[in-house]
Amino acid sequence: MREYLGEVYRCHHRGERATTGLLASRLGVSLPAVAKMFTRLDKAGYLRREPYQGVSLTSAGEREALRSIRRHRLLEVFLVKVMGFGWEETHDHSHALEGAVSDALEDRMDEMTGHPTRCPHGDPIPTKDGVMPVVDDVCLIDCAPGASGTLSRVRTHDPDKLRYLASLRLTPGAPIAVRNRAPFNGPVRVASAGAEHVLGAELASTLFVELNQGKTTGASGV
């Protein structure tokens, strides 16, 4: 149940409608399975149905969703820091393990990994009391030429894309500056750690940057 609630939370915070079809695709389950779970969650008071808009979380549902997200992201950190997995491997493994992790094990993973505040992809980890930290960043595709800052998050779980970004050393915490951006959804040229790279618009749209003070962003959607 928490896994479904966590995915509904992610959908809404990405500006997406949490529909049966989208949840089925994201979780790798059938449409009837999602519909059945939505009915259970509705009866339990965790979500409400909105005609033609999918579902949204109640306050109780949001609390459970944040617990799910915290556990998933702590698992990802544990898999990288303790077990030596690559960041491109963690999402699927965490997805498979999440339901088997107890509260005690979650606390131990938190302690062993140094009480992390971000997952390997840079996403914030909710606190144990259910607070989602605020991240002040912008999508790379919206950054104007001349903007610079620190790579904050990488919003993709595609293993090939993550391996490629790692090969360029474009991982959370890396410095990044926008050199140029082609119009009409063209590529973005960036500099990072003494090297320059040209990224297609699709890949650039998965990167988020915490800008240095005084820098501006470009027009959204360019």
Chain segment 41-85, per-residue pLDDT in tens: 999 999 998 877 889 999 999 999 999 999 999 999 999 999 999
Residues of the chain with pLDDT under 70: 214-222
For residue 188, give Cα distances in angstroms to 104, 119, 179, 200. 45, 26, 8, 6
d(C-alpha 61, C-alpha 63), whole Å: 5
Identify the pLDDT of residue 46: 96
Identify the pLDDT of residue 34: 94
Q: What class is the 69-134 domain?
A: mainly alpha
Q: What class is the 2-57 domain?
A: mainly alpha
Identify the pLDDT of residue 215: 47
Q: What is the 3-state secondary structure (H, E, C) of the chain?
A: CHHHHHHHHHHHHCCCCCCHHHHHHHHCCCHHHHHHHHHHHHHCCCEEEECCCEEEECHHHHHHHHHHHHHHHHHHHHHHHCCCCCCCCHHHHHHHHHHHCCHHHHHHHHHHCCCCCECCCCCECCCCCCCCCCCCCEEHHHECCCCEEEEEEECCCCHHHHHHHHHCCCCCCCEEEEEEECCCCCCEEEEECCEEEEECHHHHCCEEEEECCCCCECCCCC
Under CATH, domain 138-211 is a member of which superfamily?
A: Ferrous iron transport protein A (FeoA) (2.30.30.90)
Residues of the chain with CATH 1.10.10.10: 2-57, 69-134
Identify the pLDDT of residue 26: 86
Return the residue matching tokens 């820098």: 215
Instruction: Kindly report the pTM of this predicted structure.
Output: 0.86
Residues of the chain with CATH 2.30.30.90: 138-211
